[in-house]
């Protein structure tokens, strides 16, 4: 099988990436995923690339005679009208001999160095995504392009479970400054509290 070309996005905001553990929807493993929002101009650039690749796919022998009515293109709009691209990769596959192979997503830092497996980028991280494009045609209603997640470069890291004062809505103020031995780890429901913070 010919290895497909790997493209690289511009930097964008990652939404709820699942790069260390597969995303699970209604009990089903849907693989590793990363949603990405780019600037409007960069969004149009990536959309143009996908449309060009779709035209190439339509001419492939395996799709001869197929009607491409409303192809999916690996993107959708959020409630505010922003285009969100979604990249996916299966977390495992079975060989011809029946062996199950588990996969991973290579993750690199800004310098190109592989990051430790303990580092888990979360919502709001600034990343670039390496991806390949796979056309598919399951039926007249289900066809289009799949954006295969190949690797991720993290330019600004936000990690799951790591909370800062900013995540609770606190800014810098004059007053008490903690010494190292004064710091006590917070043991509450961090994720829930962080999501509900607001500056009144």
Average pLDDT over residues 69-85: 94
Task: Read off the pLDDT of residues 18-62 as tens digits, 9 standing for 90 and up.
Answer: 999 999 888 888 999 999 999 999 999 999 999 999 999 999 999
Q: What is the mean pLDDT of residues 137-153?
A: 95
Q: How confident is the model at residue 168 (pLDDT cuts 50, 70, 90)?
A: low
Asked whether the predicted pLDDT for residue 190 surpasses 50, the reply is: no
Predicted confidence band of residue 93 (pLDDT cuts 50, 70, 90): confident
The pairs formed by 105-111 with CB atoms below 8 angstroms and a separation of 24 or more are 105/19, 105/20, 105/32, 105/149, 105/150, 105/151, 105/152, 106/150, 106/151, 106/152, 107/19, 107/151, 107/152, 107/153, 107/154, 108/151, 108/152, 108/153, 108/154, 109/153, 109/154, 110/153, 110/154, 110/155
Give the start-to-end residue ranges of the domains of the chain.
Answer: 7-156, 165-195
The Cα-based distances of 116 to 20, 105, 119 in angstroms read: 11, 12, 6
pLDDT score for 159: 85
Mean pLDDT confidence for 61-78: 93
Counting beta carbons within 10 angstroms of the beta carbon of residue 64, is it exposed (0 to 12), middle (13 to 18) or buried (19 or more)?
exposed
* CATH of the domain spanning 7-156, picked from 2.40.50.140, 3.90.850.10, 3.30.450.90, 3.90.1150.10: 2.40.50.140
Q: Residue 42 class from Cβ within 10 Å (0-12 exposed, 13-18 middle, 19+ buried)?
A: middle
**Nearest alpha-carbon partner for 65 in 147, 143, 117:** 143
* Model pLDDT for residues 111-134, shown as the tens digit of each residue: 999 999 999 999 999 999 999 999
Long-range contacts of 90-94 (CB under 8 A, 24+ apart): 90/31, 90/32, 91/22, 91/29, 91/31, 91/32
Q: What is the pLDDT of residue 166?
A: 64
Residue-level pLDDT at 137 = 95
Give me the pLDDT at residue 197, please: 44
Q: What is the mean pLDDT of residues 153-157?
A: 96
Does 184 have pLDDT greater than 60? no
């Amino acid at each position: 099988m010919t290895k497909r070309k790997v493209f690289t996005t511009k930097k964008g905001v990652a939404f709820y990436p699942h790069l260390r553990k597969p995303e699970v929807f209604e009990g089903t493993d849907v693989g590793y995923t990363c949603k990405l929002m780019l600037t409007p101009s960069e969004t149009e650039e990536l959309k143009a690339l996908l449309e060009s690749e779709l035209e190439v796919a339509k001419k492939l022998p395996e799709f001869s005679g197929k009607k491409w009515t409303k192809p999916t293109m690996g993107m959708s709009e959020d409630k505010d009208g922003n285009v969100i691209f979604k990249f996916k990769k299966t977390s495992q596959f079975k060989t011809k001999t029946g062996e199950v192979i588990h996969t991973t997503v290579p993750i690199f830092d800004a310098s190109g160095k592989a990051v430790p497996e303990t580092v888990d980028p979360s919502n709001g991280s600034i990343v670039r995504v390496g991806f390949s494009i796979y056309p598919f045609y399951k039926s007249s209603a289900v066809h289009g392009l799949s954006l295969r997640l190949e690797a991720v470069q993290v330019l600004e890291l936000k990690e799951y479970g790591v909370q800062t004062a900013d995540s609770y809505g606190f800014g810098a103020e004059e007053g008490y400054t903690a010494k190292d031995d004064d710091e006590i780890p917070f043991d509450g429901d961090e994720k829930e509290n962080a999501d509900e913070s607001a500056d009144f």
